[in-house]
Amino acid sequence: MADEDQDAMAAEWAAMAEEESPAADATGNAEDGGDGEDQDAMAAEWAAMAEGDDSTTIAGAEDGPGSERILNQDEIDNLLGFEGGEEDEDNNSGIRSIINTALVSYERLPMLEVVFDRLVRLMTTSLRNFTSDNVEVSLDNISSIRFGDYLNSIPLPAILAVFRAEQLDNYGLLTVDSNLIYSIVDVLLGGRRGTAAMRVEGRPYTTIERQLVQRMIEVVLQDAHLAFKPLTNVDFTLDRVETNPRFAAIARPANAAILVRLRIDMEDRGGRIELMLPYATLEPVRKMLLQQFMGEKFGRDNIWESHLASELWSTSMEIDAVLDEHEVPLRDMMNLKIGDTVMMNTSPNSEITLRSGNIALAKGRMGRLGHKMAIRVQNGLPKAVRRQLEEQMQ
């Protein structure tokens, strides 16, 4: 029965195809060239879509004006910065580098670089006198970092000195690494030259070592005071010495700070000193640190100020001696004639006001000096008027 049904259905389709064929023949070759090409194009498109089901990209997406291009997995990894595997964690790129960066954006402080260059020169001389050895101090770099990231990056063991900037009313941090600690102890206690300092692992620093390093830190802080002195007077005093970074927290972990790395070489011995100043410490002198050169004044010109002052001292002005004044109606002023008398309420002993424009300068009494009228000043310029004139001059 199933075979008979299939044969009947096939015969019916054949009959339908024979009925449509005359109509197709009547249309001529024109329709064959149009519908036939459309059918071929549609068949090719269906075949292309069937072949592209397993692909991650859409073929021909750029052909249409409103089409969108889909990124493959490699392009997505490159954008997010995840290419290269786990071994390239230090070389982050893309969005990952923005999220995981420890550096912070900060404005450039040109005068701070000048201060630290001066600190390097001062430390070279002072440490030579302190150790009686040939000491070379060099500035590695000046960078900006978050305080919490810096504490986590300090190689232990180390000595951390917390110092206070008195005039700035805040704190700073000075870190001395272990190589420099043992080198200073070896030099100050008479170690032989040409031999590396002996480093003992697994023990805390002794009291003698801490005291010797503390003396060196005090020398560095005194040099820092002298380096800042041409710019502003700041006294750096040692507050405490720590060996655990957790006890040297002087700012919040997310706060930005300036980190200065100094290299100290004593022939074949030496180490590093890292000076860290939070931005909150430098905020009171930020305008001074923004200067391009020492002594620069914002919005002021010393040459123009001196020229203006000299011109003001040599300027002449008119002074009016007012005998008396009273209000008169405008009608009476219009009716004045030659020979009329205006009565004044002033006697020969009355005080006379000296004015320059509308400003009363002084008061005095009228007299005669030779053939000229004179006024002897008795009361000087009032304080309110003097303050007003000074404000106008400034």
pLDDT at 367: 82
pLDDT at 23: 46
pLDDT at 219: 93
**Residue 176 counted as domain residue:** yes
pLDDT at 191: 73
Among 289, 322, 350, identify where a domain stops.
289
pLDDT at 82: 59
The answer to whether residues 224 and 330 belong to one domain is no
Euclidean distance between CA atoms 140 and 94, whole angstroms: 28
From residue 304, alpha-carbon distances to 41, 298, 313, 357 in Å are 85, 14, 14, 27
The answer to whether residues 244 and 125 belong to one domain is yes
Whether omega before 230 lies within 30 degrees of 0, making that bond cis, reads no
pLDDT at 105: 52
pLDDT at 40: 67
Q: Which domain holds residue 196?
A: 110-289
* Neighbour count for residue 262 (Cβ, 10 Å): 21
Cα R_g (the chain), whole angstroms: 46
CB 165 within 8 A of CB 284: no
The answer to whether residues 285 and 306 belong to one domain is no
Beta-bridge partner residues of 376: 365
The answer to whether residues 229 and 201 belong to one domain is yes
- Each residue's pLDDT expressed in tens, for the chain with a length of 394 residues: 555 666 777 677 667 756 555 444 444 444 444 455 566 666 666 666 555 444 444 344 444 455 566 777 777 777 665 555 444 444 555 565 555 555 555 557 888 888 899 999 999 999 999 988 888 999 988 888 888 888 888 888 889 999 999 988 899 999 999 889 888 888 888 876 656 555 556 678 888 889 999 999 999 999 999 999 888 889 999 999 988 888 888 888 888 889 999 999 987 788 899 999 998 888 888 888 877 665 555 445 667 778 888 888 888 888 888 888 878 888 888 888 888 888 877 777 788 888 888 877 788 888 888 888 888 887 776 676 667 666 665 5
Burial of 269 (0-12, 13-18, 19+ CB in 10 A): buried
Q: Which residues make Cβ contacts (< 8 Å) with residue 329, sequence separation at least 6?
A: none
Q: In one letter, which amino acid is 168?
A: L
Give the length of the chain: 394
166 closest CA partner among 244, 117, 224 = 224
The answer to whether residues 116 and 229 belong to one domain is yes
| Tokens 């002298």 belong to residue | 226
**Residue 208 counted as domain residue:** yes
Model pTM above 0.75: no
The answer to whether residues 343 and 196 belong to one domain is no
| CA end-to-end span of the chain | 117
**Residue 260 counted as domain residue:** yes
Torsion angles phi and psi, residue 275, rounded to 5: -110, 120
Euclidean distance between CA atoms 223 and 217, whole angstroms: 10
